[in-house]
Structure 1
Amino acid sequence: MIDWQRPLGGTGLSVSAVCAGTGVLGSMPGAFGYEVPEERGIDTVTRVLAGPITFLDTSNGYSAGESEHRVGAALARAGGVPDGFVLATKVDPDGDDFSGPRVRRSLEESLSRLGMSSVPLLYLHDPERISFDDATAPGGPVEELLRLRDEGLAEHVGVAGGPAALMERYVRTGAFEVLITHNRWTLLDRSAGRLLDAAVEQGVAVVNAACFGGGILAKGSAASDRYAYRTAHPEVLEAVRGMEAACARHGVPLAAAALQFSLHDPRIASTVVGFSRPERVDECVAHAGTPIPDDLWPELEALVPSSERWLH
């Protein structure tokens, strides 16, 4: 059994082991391969707000703000953010503008869509889109993010991005309380191992996103040939097929193993799972509690693709 409610590092916030992701919620067919109607997206958030998941992650940039719009509509129907619920969003650039002033405007846009006056947690999103020096320069986005926290518009701040080595540089600045890493700590990819260790060393809480690699570890190889939003290498597809067979021999859904790989890592506070239908929330909670034989894990470990196929 897992501890369902967990401390989010040193923030003082308590979050559920699963965090509801909303990247797909606003409809991003280019990344995920399918449309999500508005009402279904709103109904999905409404289901999340009913529990037991108490943590939700969104972003200014998801579907050009449509994700936040749908989250805000669900919050309005629910009468606001439930007690004990943690909602996080992210600041995003406007085209090539990822300046300090843009960070402030990004949060203002998000608060308007969400119907909130402040957020418990605010991330700098995908800082790989600018140089580290520009991001950390005086007057830049990191400084403005910290100013927003000082002003009470965000209670806590984090950084969310891809390349593991770059994210480690941000973690080691001491500016951030929470880290999101995505697609780099899954059954198929271990790029973030050193990053997770660095976060623990620095006292930064870890939120692990995309434990299904964008869907293939939930849907299976017959339904998807994509990992991390791109066509998967044949070696990766072969690994998925082997993992599917191993899970089938043990009577375990591949999705349950992929989720629990992240849930049981002591370095990880919460695992982001994207939802696009209300029923997926209940499926995920069931997968979190699915018994998994100890013998399955070494079989899956032996099937991990070579590091040349990791995202890094």
Structure 2
Amino acid sequence: MFRPGRSEAIARPSALTALGFGAAPLGNLYRQISDSDADQAVAAAVAGGVGYFDVAPQYGRGLAEQRLGDALAKHDPEQRAILSTKVGILLRPDVDGGASSESIFKSSTGLIPHYDYSYDAVMASIEASKKRLGGRAINIVYAHDLGRRAHGERHEERMAAFLEGGYRALAELRSAGQIDAIGLGVNEWEVCEEVLAQADFDIMLLAGRYTLLEQSAAATFLPLCEQRGVDVVIGGPYNSGILAMGTRSGGVPYYDYRPADEAVIAKVAAIEAICDRHDVPLAAAALQFPLAAKPVVSVIPGFASAAELEQAIALVAWRIPYSFWHDLQDAGLIAPGVSIPHAPFGDPAAKDSLKQ
């Protein structure tokens, strides 16, 4: 379990705030944003009590780390916030000028990503991240995008490189007190179970697999983490957008990084109908649902602006009645046996604040 220990500033009872800050949009995810927008988003997070920020070298090929480091230096100079980054995708100079224009990150830093989970690459990646982050302390380090879905036939090769090299580097840094916690940052829970059978981890960042729409991680992964005392952070709570925009906006709803199919759209529409009956925003339900699971300590949507951050704070605080979750279960829209909130929480004023 993640228990920060290097700094009194972060040694507090609740290590990670329930709402965290996913920094991928600071790397120009899907669209370009300005340095000012990035700075204001981080400023709003700090002002709003968000105390956990997650980033990775891959996000904008170093741009997100640079922007986050610059903003936190201004708005959190005492380093009270907890910071995580990732290893396994090492940035190297684009000597051939062949950086793909098809990247989902619309930024150009002269660097290109290379998968490398070896000991030396992980150590080099952390040092490079520290420089981009302005020398700020890194509390949590995740191994990024391991798994069969990510690597296909090369999964065994890259898993071996990590367990024999990269994991050893992370464990050494943890033992030396240079970082507080280690884990995986992935889109597939199966690989988390695979590594937990072979090594010691503190925390897992799982994106998209435990959400209001999909609970495939509930059967074995979450109980295993609870048994082992491993914390879980939920990324991608909107499943690439469909749980934020819904099915009625007129735009193309995305699920799992691609246009949603008819079955997914139909399920979200059914959830929306129950949201309407209880006056619950779909996005509020999407943010609050994962937090009911015992090992889940934080949910981290991505933010590209102060307005998005402020809206998320209101959504997490929206008072959702227990009857809403009960109706979802009765309709078969939440998998049997999963944890649901057993009492409304939040600030009644959040509803008015969101509508302003």
Fold shared, TM-score > 0.5 on shorter chain = yes
Q: Deviations over 1:94-131 (max 9, x none)?
A: 31433211111111111001112531111111122443
Q: Aligned partners of 1:81, 1:124: CA distance in 2, in Å?
A: 27
Change (3 A) 1:42 1:247: same
The structure with the largest alpha-carbon Rg is 2
SS of 1:291's partner is coil
Change (3 A) 1:236 1:115: same
SS of 2:182's partner is strand
2:43 aligns with one of 21, 42, 46 = 46
The TM-score normalised by the length of structure 2 is 0.77
Gaps of 5+ in 2: 6-10, 91-113, 337-356
1:98-117 maps to which residues of 2 (within 5 A)? 98-116=117-135
Moved more, 115-124 or 190-199: 115-124
The corresponding residue for 2:323 is: 295
The corresponding residue for 2:24 is: 23
Post-superposition shift, 1:38? 2.6
SS of 2:272's partner is helix
RCO (CA 8 Å, sep 6+): is it higher in 1 or 2?
Answer: 1
Moved more, 287-296 or 203-212: 287-296
2:32 aligns with one of 20, 35, 39 = 35
Post-superposition shift, 1:220? 1.4
Post-superposition shift, 1:172? 3.1
Q: Aligned partners of 2:136, 2:285: CA distance in 1, in Å?
A: 39
The corresponding residue for 1:198 is: 224
Question: Could you tell me which amino acid in structure 1 is paired with residue 312 of structure 2?
Answer: C
Q: Contact (CA 8 Å) 1:187, 1:300: kept in 2 or not?
A: no
Gaps of 5+ in 1: 1-7, 308-312
Post-superposition shift, 1:55? 0.8
Q: Deviations over 1:221-278 (max 9, x none)?
A: 2344211212222101111111112111211100111111112222211111211110
1:80 aligns with 2:74: no
Post-superposition shift, 1:11? 5.0
Q: Contact (CA 8 Å) 2:46, 2:76: kept in 1 or not?
A: no
Q: Aligned partners of 1:103, 1:173: CA distance in 2, in Å?
A: 19
Identity %: 30
Q: Aligned partners of 2:237, 2:129: CA distance in 1, in Å?
A: 26
Q: Contact (CA 8 Å) 2:42, 2:71: kept in 1 or not?
A: yes
1:234 aligns with one of 238, 262, 267 = 262
SS of 1:56's partner is strand
Number of residue pairs matched?
A: 293
SS of 2:116's partner is coil
SS of 1:74's partner is helix
1:271 aligns with 2:299: yes
Post-superposition shift, 1:49? 2.1
Q: Aligned partners of 1:20, 1:230: CA distance in 2, in Å?
A: 23
Question: Could you tell me which amino acid in structure 2 is paired with residue 207 of structure 1?
Answer: V
The corresponding residue for 1:218 is: 244
Q: Contact (CA 8 Å) 1:236, 1:305: kept in 2 or not?
A: no
Q: Aligned partners of 2:115, 2:279: CA distance in 1, in Å?
A: 49
Q: Contact (CA 8 Å) 1:60, 1:92: kept in 2 or not?
A: no
Q: Aligned partners of 1:48, 1:23: CA distance in 2, in Å?
A: 15
- What is the root-mean-square deviation in Å for CA atoms of aligned residues? 2.1
Change (3 A) 1:234 1:76: same
